[in-house]
Structure 1
Amino acid sequence: MTATPARPRPVALLLPGQGAQHARMAHGLYRTVPAFTDALDEVLDLLGPDGAAVRTDWLAEQPAVPLDDVRRAQPLLFAIDYALARTLHAWGVRPAAILGHSVGEAVGAVLAGVLPLADAVRLLAERIGAIADAPPGGMLAVAATAEAVIPYLTEQVVIGAINGPQQLLLAGPDPDLAVAEAELIASGITCMRARATSGFHSPSLRPACRRTLAGYDGVELRSPRTPLVSGYTAGELSAGNAVDPGFWAMQPAEPVLFGPALDALLARGPHLLVEAGPGQGLSALARRHPEVGGGRSAVVPLLGSRPRTPADDLQNLLRAARAIEAEGHAVSPYHLAPA
């Protein structure tokens, strides 16, 4: 049996974003785990009739709007990330740091106290509406270094995310991205489309993002209460960026620097990295980090990569709770609904 550490490593939340969505994600926790259910319903209720439609499609066998559509992926990722984080809070687990990827950083801003949930959800809805009207596009996962993809970049097709040394996402509108994809394949570089129907983190979304700036008028932005390591600056969020509406409004058009941000987080010392969101994409990236591979830090995803049945979600959540307890953190009753 593994001994409980004398001093548990502090918890750092990893909050996934666009591309982590998949069918039936977290279904097994809804109406089973009260803390999760209440928090998810709070987010979707704040979206009004649109939130009800999002919930219906999320739970449906055949959604009317595909879950990869920005009108479904973005609100569901936000809601599920937030609901899982609130579940941890209900257990008594308090993160020492937060690192979000893409829309996960918007969730992190709420959890860190930068802006209230109601404002964040309203701004999310405005962002979704603007992006839905932007040119169609996508993202392309590429197994290559940043230097290796330079010949395939254009004014429109850019590096949208740096997730690791040879783990990139190119982003842009179509047909530009499709041309880059064909050229990469012809050159023998491994790539595949990510789950996105918009060119997130590329210049194609800049006009849409600028249209959302007015929505920040009257919103009180504050410095974070919990350290928030930004995936856009690859460092701890500064007080200046925290209260800058432009910093938040333009994020969907700016590159994500998750790999460098993870470097910055783990440079602070050993952590127990808890992925609070669908799938295990960020956990997989973190496990390749030398600090995790060397055993100084560890990774605990709250959900499985792809659940086979609704019961899998609950089993994975309880498995994660036991792992957090084994680390030495006090985890109070799991707040499950009676069977």
Structure 2
Amino acid sequence: MAVFDVAASPWHFLPLSAATTTSLAEKRLNLAEILEADALLDIADLAYTMQISDHGLDDRLAVLGCNNLELVKALRDGSGAGWISGCGSTMARPVAFLFPGVGEQYVNMGKDLYSHAPEFREDMDYCFDRLDRELEADLRTAMFVEGWIAPTRQQAWLRGASAPHEPVSELNRTLYAQPAMFVIEYCLARQLMRWGVLPTAVLGYSLGELVAATIAGVVSIEDALRIVAGRAKLIDELPPGAMLAIPMAASEVAPLLADELSIGISNGPKLCVVSGANAAIAELAAAFAAIGVATRQLSTTHAFHSPFMKPAADGLRSLLKTIELRQPNLRCLSNVTGTWLTDAEATDPEYWLRHLCQTAKFAECLDTLLDSEEDWAMAEVGPGQSLAALVRQRAALLPGDRGQLVVPTMRSLYDCEDDRLVLMLVLARLWVAGSDPDWAKFHAGACRQRVSSLAELGIVEDQLS
């Protein structure tokens, strides 16, 4: 079975590398001439040949396009949407997977991949079948809706009194939102790992830590689905609550909070989220507005990461006692402590209950990751780009140029790109930065031929991997 239906993909990724910038420019212009001279050249075979070739050189560029004309234009212009360049390294950069939390989900997220990536679809169906039994609900139908019209960026900007009415999705409900986010992130991580993009560290945002723990081997996928379903059902039964994003440090906001409020998430040096009862959150927002501080209420149904979650945690305790928790086989960051998850924490059921009720220290997790003196290549594995934004804000405060890279792996709600293109761009950006995906696995099941003339013309090295 093909990991990815390469034959049906309209996009092609051409990697080029050279010892110097000058020789790289010569190679790209030579490649443009080859494409111009042979209109019948199979671009898929060309891409395959270039991808599996030996690229042990530091100056790298990647060109993406749908056809001969697009690729030639990018190669000749040396710029454009399909052009990615940079200085890689013969030493592979460590990869970190970042998993977002609830709030980024949208109807039909991942549908492009579900339709065109057979093993991704197989993973999704495996999760759907088990979750449908656990939830007594049809998650697949809630996620994938025919004829669904997503809101535009303009509608999002206008949201408020003058905003157009937007359709209400089941995915806004915790019962569906949490399992849906878990499934899409887990299956997307598996897809990347099949292609040889292997993380050495994982970090989850709120619910995303459960995905991170699953990828790190703390729980099996079967047990993880039981936890996610049980957690979602218990939270769904709780009284509603709210969360408010405030552009201030958690340490500044905490002393101002009334009894029904607490710091839910620490996002950065100047951003935190407060959790609490609806009325108390509304009063807090009004109080900040009165002093000129703009806040934003999140699209959540409950006061996550707060004492309001305690009844759900009490209900989850009995389930966790039936589940085998193992030591992580990857470095995993803890939202509870803001540091690396220890073996003792990972295997303690009470840790996962604290994770539900206590402040999620995401800012501290980022500090730990970015202060580790490694030039990470980070992939935000899931819908949206909010974690990438938080990483860039935090990295901007670091001294010097640490060369941190963070790439989205799925489009956000208001974008229209095909997720296959987004994933192709992930591979291209990681490759330019020095990582080397497993191209043989990427092309598994596809009938490809090497274009021997590329080596003769000096476009690729003679030695093929």
Tell me whether the two structures share a fold, i.e. TM-score over 0.5.
yes
Question: How do residues 84-233 of structure 1 correspond to structure 2 at under 5 angstroms?
Answer: 84-233=188-337
Q: 1:143 to 1:64 in 2, by over 3 A?
A: closer
Whole-Å separation in 1 of the counterparts to 2:280 and 2:363? 26
Match of 1:289?
394
Match of 2:97?
13
1:66 shift after superposition: 2.9
Whole-Å separation in 1 of the counterparts to 2:347 and 2:418? 40
Whole-Å separation in 2 of the counterparts to 1:5 and 1:27? 34
Rg bigger for which structure? Answer: 2
Whole-Å separation in 1 of the counterparts to 2:362 and 2:444? 33
Greater Cα shift, 97-106 or 30-39:
30-39
1:159 shift after superposition: 1.0
Greater Cα shift, 181-190 or 90-99:
181-190
Whole-Å separation in 2 of the counterparts to 1:232 and 1:298? 25
Contact map agreement 2:107 2:169 (CA 8 A) in 1: no
What amino acid is the match of 1:42? Answer: Y
Match of 2:178?
74
Greater Cα shift, 296-305 or 88-97:
296-305
Whole-Å separation in 1 of the counterparts to 2:249 and 2:434? 38
- Any gaps of 5 or more consecutive residues in structure 1? none
Contact map agreement 2:92 2:434 (CA 8 A) in 1: yes
Greater Cα shift, 197-206 or 216-225:
216-225
Contact map agreement 1:144 1:189 (CA 8 A) in 2: no
Greater Cα shift, 313-322 or 284-293:
284-293
- Any gaps of 5 or more consecutive residues in structure 2? 1-84, 150-166, 447-465
Q: Deviations over 1:41-62 (max 9, x none)?
A: 2222211244762210111128
What amino acid is the match of 1:316? Answer: V
Q: How many residues align?
A: 337
1:275 aligned onto 2:380? yes
Whole-Å separation in 1 of the counterparts to 2:232 and 2:395? 36
Q: CA RMSD in A?
A: 2.2
Q: 1:303 aligns with which of 410, 421, 428?
A: 410
Whole-Å separation in 1 of the counterparts to 2:183 and 2:219? 16
Match of 2:423?
317
Whole-Å separation in 1 of the counterparts to 2:136 and 2:370? 36
Whole-Å separation in 1 of the counterparts to 2:383 and 2:443? 20
Greater Cα shift, 55-64 or 120-129:
55-64
What amino acid is the match of 2:106? Answer: H
Match of 2:4?
none
Give the TM-score, by structure 1 length. 0.93
Q: Deviations over 1:270-320 (max 9, x none)?
A: 2111110110010011011236873431111112233544x5222111111
Contact map agreement 1:142 1:190 (CA 8 A) in 2: yes
Identical aligned pairs, as a percentage? 34
1:134 shift after superposition: 1.0
Give the TM-score, by structure 2 length. 0.68
Corresponding residue SS for 1:31: helix
1:123 shift after superposition: 1.4
